[in-house]
Amino acid sequence: MDNPNMPGMLKQLRQMQKDLVKAQKELAKETVSTEVGGVTVTITGDQRLTDLEISMDLLAQRDPAKLTKSIKEAVNQALEESRKLAQDRLGPLSSGLSF
């Protein structure tokens, strides 16, 4: 049994795929940054670490446990913001399906 809506659905899927690829490329260019305890982390929208800065004050403390904790917290916060950014940009593309 042929579905008369099939050509329209395929066209809609192809357009959505083009829009998704475009949005993913744009997302890779966007960044989010977070700062925790003297550590600043920058991550792209496609979750690639692009920058990690550690303040001289934090380094001067010579406290490896504090440094490690600050790095982990800053990275995790930046990753969470990156995921939210991706959801904001990519989520609407998948909600437009109507079959």
Helix, strand, coil percentages in the chain from 3-state DSSP, rounded to 5: 60, 20, 20
Structure tokens of 36?
């925790």
The whole-model pTM stands at 0.77
- In order along its 99 residues, the chain shows pLDDT tens digits of 567 777 888 888 888 888 888 888 999 999 999 999 999 999 999 999 999 999 999 999 999 999 999 999 999 999 999 999 988 888 877 665 554
Structure tokens of 39?
């550590």
Domains of the chain: 31-92 (3.30.1310.10)
DSSP string of 59-94, one letter each residue: HHTT-HHHHHHHHHHHHHHHHHHHHHHHHHHHHHHH
Q: Would you mind telling me the total number of residues written for the chain in this entry?
A: 99
